[in-house]
Structure formats: C-alpha cells, structure tokens
Amino acid sequence: MVKLSVLDQSPVRAGGDPRQALEETVALAQATERLGYTRYWLAEHHGTEGFAGSSPEILITRVAAATNSIRVGSGGVMLSHYSPLKVAENFKLLENLYPGRIDLGIGRAPGSDGLTAAALAYGSEIGIEYFPTKIADMMAFLSDEPPATEPFRKVRATPAVQEVPEVWLLGSSDQSASYAAHFGLAFSFAHFIAPQACGPVLDHYRRNFKPSDTLAAPKASAGVFVVCADTAEEAEYLAASRDLWRLKLQYGEHLPYPPPDEALAYPYNAQEKRIVEANKANRFTGDPLSLRDELTAFADENGLDELVVLTITYDFEKRLRSYELLADAFELGRREEAA
C-alpha cells in the first residue's frame, strides 16, 4: 500500500497574490490531513513571483498549528545558505512545539538565482563545497553531539528535545543521494525535476547506504507532480498551465501560474512544442483509477512505499479536488479507519 504525502510550493496564480497563496496552503493542509495523507512538506523558494513560500520554518509553524496529526516539515530547507546550528535550533524548537510531528527536509540546491543565493549567504564565505560538513554539524547539533567543526565542539543547540525530528535529504542527483547514503539519512528523490534519473539515483542511494544512529536501513520516497481530475481530458486541460509555466521558467521567467485557457492559446513555435512535450515526462495526469494504477506501478518499479504529491492548478478548488480524487482512489480514508 503506497502512502501519499504532500509537497506544497505555495503557488501564486496570475491575478492572485502571495497572501491568497498562503491562505490556500493552510486550507490545503487541513483538507489533506482529513483525507489521510501522511505528511505535509513546505518548499523554499526565493526571488520568484510564482511561489510565496520563502521560509518553510515559519510556514511549518502556521500549518502545524492549524492541523492536529499530520506530520509537517520542510521540503526542504536549503542548508547550503544557512548555519547548521540555526537550522538545528529552529527544528528542535518546532519539535518541542509539535512533538512527534516534525520533519526536517534539507536540500543543496539554491532555490533561487545565483545573485539571490549570494544575498542569502551574505556575510559568509562558505560555499557549496562545505555542504557535507554542514550536514554533519547539523546532525550533531540535533543529537546533542559535538559537531565535526572543531572550533564549535563546545557549542550545543537548544532547546533540548525528547525526540529528534525525522531528517530527510531531498535531491534529484546521485550527488545528493551520495550524501544521504553516507550520513544514513532518508532520501526523497525529486522526480518532478529529473524523471529519467529516478531509478538509477535511488539504486545508487540504496547500494551506498550506511546505517546511522537515526536510520538503520535505506528509506526513500519520490516527489511526483500529479494532476488528477474526473476525466483524463480535464486533467490534461488543467495541466496545460504547468506546460506554459515550465516553458517560461526555462527562459528564466519566474512567473505566477497562468490559467489553462491562456496556456492553450499561447502561440508555441516548433521548438517550444518539443520542449513542452519533453517536460510532460515529469508529470502524471489522468483520472483517479488510471493514476492509481500508474502511480502504484511507478512506486513498485522504484521500490517505494511513499510518494510526495505536488499538485498545482490555476483554480484552487481543482487543486483540492485533485488531492481528494487521489485519496479516494488510494483509499487513504479507509486505511485510517482500519488503523
């Protein structure tokens, strides 16, 4: 039985605004908790008009306060920008506020353009090459162990916790998988970014996994972009928004999400049509039963028992409906009743 979770990028629609997007994040979290989803992850993006979630730590607090039992976490904090001590203290504080419900997902991507990334790391000369050291230090601070960085060995992260937050490393490359395997962390592969690499990267993670104090065996999931509707035709119509949005993103345009009719009316040239067609490899669209079969087969093929579902549509009600239909198809509610 495949578990389903949620990745929310707090998308801003064309004609909408960030406040509306954040209100929808809270409403979607409450709805997916009722539907039986396992966890709710908040993404980190900077310097874009298309996403409102620049601080997952703050959104976690809001979402966890508005829900009761669903796990809430970051998908993920871009650790390359930040102090491992500060990240550890933020999540130890969150764990004290919402015990047993907090996930700490970390990533090495900038989540922004290069200039914005430099501004985020302002005052620090430490680059991406220090990312593995930052992981080691962060895990030590979380576990109340001396960090790997010698000058900080007497530093302790507060407040103390009874249980360490569940730590995941998110990525779309074998480099990220190598770090997750080396440090004995759970790994979530971003299929919606690099679909062709999914199987090989997950295999690399499992082959190289080293047990840690927090995880004895490999644990993996995949982030998948899904649009589910009552009919396959409607799902394709709704997904047209993403086709145009991704095309613009490849041109360096970080725009709000366009309506489907605008996307369908866009005058794609021959090269753009090829790009759009190629990008369809990183999304799943269809009716509930066909998606259940397709996603289950995908999970089986890649040895996964959990999929983290990212759904964006221009209309929020259609987005919510997509999660509802998927939950019904996978019988998430019945599983909760049985439990």
Please give the share of the chain, as a percent, with pLDDT higher than 70.
94
**Does the pLDDT at position 111 exceed 50?**
no
**Does the pLDDT at position 29 exceed 60?**
yes
Within 10 angstroms of residue 80's Cβ, the number of other Cβ atoms is 21
Query: Which amino acid makes up residue 104?
Result: L
Q: What are the DSSP E strand ranges found in 172-246? A: 186-190, 220-228
Give the 3-state secondary structure of residue 247. helix
CA atoms within 13 A on the CB side of 110: 16
User: Taking residues 80-101, what's their average pLDDT?
Assistant: 96
pLDDT-based confidence at 123, cuts 50/70/90?
low
* CA trace torsion 93, 97, 101, 104 (10° rounding): -20
Q: Could you identify the residue written with the tokens 């764990």?
A: 95
Residue 1, pLDDT score: 87
Residue 130, pLDDT score: 84
Please check whether residue 251 is in contact with residue 336, taking contact to mean a CB–CB distance below 8 angstroms: no
pLDDT-based confidence at 81, cuts 50/70/90?
confident
User: Taking residues 264-273, what's their average pLDDT?
Assistant: 97
Please check whether residue 42 is in contact with residue 78, taking contact to mean a CB–CB distance below 8 angstroms: no
**Does the pLDDT at position 28 exceed 70?**
yes
Residue 289 CA, chain-centre distance (Å), reads 24
Residue 308 CA, chain-centre distance (Å), reads 7
User: Taking residues 195-221, what's their average pLDDT?
Assistant: 97
CATH code for position 162 = 3.20.20.30
Q: How far is CA 246 from CA 220, 224, 276, in A?
A: 26, 15, 8
DSSP result, 295-314? HHHHHHHTT-SEEEEE---S
Please check whether residue 131 is in contact with residue 179, taking contact to mean a CB–CB distance below 8 angstroms: yes
The DSSP 8-state label assigned to residue 285 in this structure reads E
Report d(CA 264, CA 266) in Å as an integer.
6
Within 10 angstroms of residue 337's Cβ, the number of other Cβ atoms is 8
The answer to whether the pTM exceeds 0.75 is: yes
For residue range 277-299, list pLDDT tens digits in order. Answer: 999 999 999 999 999 999 999 99
Report d(CA 60, CA 227) in Å as an integer.
24
259 compared with 333, residue with greater pLDDT:
259
Residue 262 belongs to what H/E stretch? helix 260-265
Please check whether residue 227 is in contact with residue 283, taking contact to mean a CB–CB distance below 8 angstroms: yes
If you average pLDDT over every residue of the chain, what do you get? Answer: 94
Count of domains forming the chain: 1
Please check whether residue 96 is in contact with residue 159, taking contact to mean a CB–CB distance below 8 angstroms: yes
Q: Output phi, psi for 190, to 5 deg.
A: -85, 80
3-state DSSP: the chain helix, strand, coil percent, rounded to 5? Answer: 50, 15, 35
Domain membership of residue 130 as a residue range: 3-338
Report d(CA 88, CA 108) in Å as an integer.
16
